[in-house]
Amino acid sequence: MSVKQIIDECERLFNDLDFSYVKEWKKRTGKKAVGFMPVYVPREVIHAAGMLPVGIMGGGADLEIIKGDAYFQSYICHIPRSTIELGVSGKLNVLDGMLFPAICDVIRNLSGMWQMLFKDKYVKYLDLPQNFDKTIGGEFYKFEMRTLAEDLAHLGGEPVTADHLNRSIQLYNDNRRAIADLYKLRAEQPHLVMTSEAYLLLRAGIVMDVEEHTQLVRRYLHDVTKEKRHKMDNIRVVVSGAFCEQPPLALIKGLEQSGCYIVEDDWVLGARYIEGDVQLAADPYESLAQAYLFHAVANASKYEDQHEKGAFLVDQVRRLKAEGVIFCAPSFCDPALLERPMLADALTREKIPYTSFNYSENTGQFSVFKEQTGTFADSIKLWGHS
Ligand code: SF4
């Protein structure tokens, strides 16, 4: 399989709103599949129950919204409309359940709507802790995960034993390492690993079986280093704010074409939410809770002290020798847009240039964004700041 074939396959999965991969997986294994919304769920628990975790990242750029708009007011983001559209049009019938992790009121409301609309499906609002004391938030989160595991067993999955869960953690550790290697190679040689390719690989990973996906990423890493790709006179940037509703693929390509090497980003963040390995242990729920509490990346859906806001982003910029930040968030996304001024203040204090724009998953016009980020790149090349 060439790099092109790997990426073509990932793009096929990305565009497939009929979720043929999931249908085929269920037919082949006779098991069930459970969907989840951004940003993060402990996929290890779903996997340990013998089920396929399936990331639902909205409907993307091409889905026509016929009924979804009728469920929401005007001034909110786009992802709940397209997710409802997918649901009421039957495209998510292949899923036996849906998880809605705590991130914002929109997702919370969507979980309630899902319960009313799809009464025959398992629905859980996964309440992630915002208290990072392991005796409080940790215990709460362990209880949430155990409840999820019991629910999934009741739904027809396998009982989640410690052995099963440790095995799943091991497989997701392998996957996290492969993705970390992908991001490392992109940061070191961004002309080699195109961001649009890295993005499609990540998107494939939220649908595919975890072992199959790890192999795919490893094969890409092996093959791409043999490709001859030219270096461009691009600046190095970090993209921040796209952790939930995803930018259109054409927008991601447009950022690269405007003179920016993206060396860090936060899209499909659930796949990279935990840094490093989750420990294998007698109580694997404890390990997952510790990983969530102490080794999760900073993001707008997770509580941070005011004085810490922006430190993670500044560190990314410094560590990866980035020359600027592009704040790129969904329109009307409260978590991202409320956090942005605090992140921008931290960058200003450190004299790190940034530019900002908002998108929607179905944004169709990219020339304005390309001109903006192209001008940002030019100003950094000319003067070292915007
Ligand atoms: S895009 Fe933002 S506001 Fe909309 S569901 Fe996601 S986190 Fe919530």
Query: How confident is the model at residue 385, as a pLDDT?
Result: 57
* Residue 20: both structure tokens together: 């043929």
Residues in CB range of 232: below 8 A, 6 or more apart: 191, 259, 261
pTM to 2 decimal places: 0.96
Cα gap 312→299, rounded to integer Å = 9
CB of 107 shorter than 6 A to ligand 1: yes
CA gyration radius, the chain: 20
Q: What is the pLDDT of residues 42-76, one digit of tens each?
A: 999 999 999 999 999 999 998 989 888 888 888 89
Cα gap 335→338, rounded to integer Å = 5
Ligand 1 nearest-atom number relative to CA 336 = 2
Maximal C-alpha separation, the chain:
62
Question: Which of 366, 35, 28 has the alpha carbon at shortest distance from 212?
Answer: 28
Cα gap 292→363, rounded to integer Å = 33
CB of 269 shorter than 6 A to ligand 1: no
Query: CB of 250 within 8 A of CB of 367?
Result: no
- How far does residue 106's CA lie from ligand 1's centre (Å)? 6
| Residue with CA closest to ligand 1 atom 8 | 104
Omega of the bond leading into 39 within 30 degrees of 0 (cis): yes
Q: Which residues of the chain have pLDDT under 70?
A: 385-386
Query: How confident is the model at residue 1, as a pLDDT?
Result: 78
Question: Which of 14, 36, 13 has the alpha carbon at shortest distance from 25?
Answer: 13
Q: What is the pLDDT of residues 367-379, one digit of tens each?
A: 888 999 999 999 9
- How far does residue 244's CA lie from ligand 1's centre (Å)? 6
| Residue with CA closest to ligand 1 atom 2 | 333
User: Of the residues 99, 107, 267, which should be mutated to test ligand 1's pocket, given the most ligand atoms within 8 Å of the CB?
Assistant: 107
CB of 16 shorter than 6 A to ligand 1: no
Task: Sheet containing 97-101: give its strands across.
Answer: 52-55, 33-36, 97-101, 122-126
What does residue 54 show for φ and ψ, rounded to 5 degrees? -130, 115
CB of 300 shorter than 6 A to ligand 1: no
Type and span of the H or E element at 337: helix 334-349
Residue that is written with structure tokens 């991202």 in the block: 336
Query: CB of 61 within 8 A of CB of 364?
Result: yes
- How far does residue 352's CA lie from ligand 1's centre (Å)? 26
Ligand 1 nearest-atom number relative to CA 334 = 3
The sign of the dihedral angle between the CA atoms of 172, 176, 177, 182 is positive
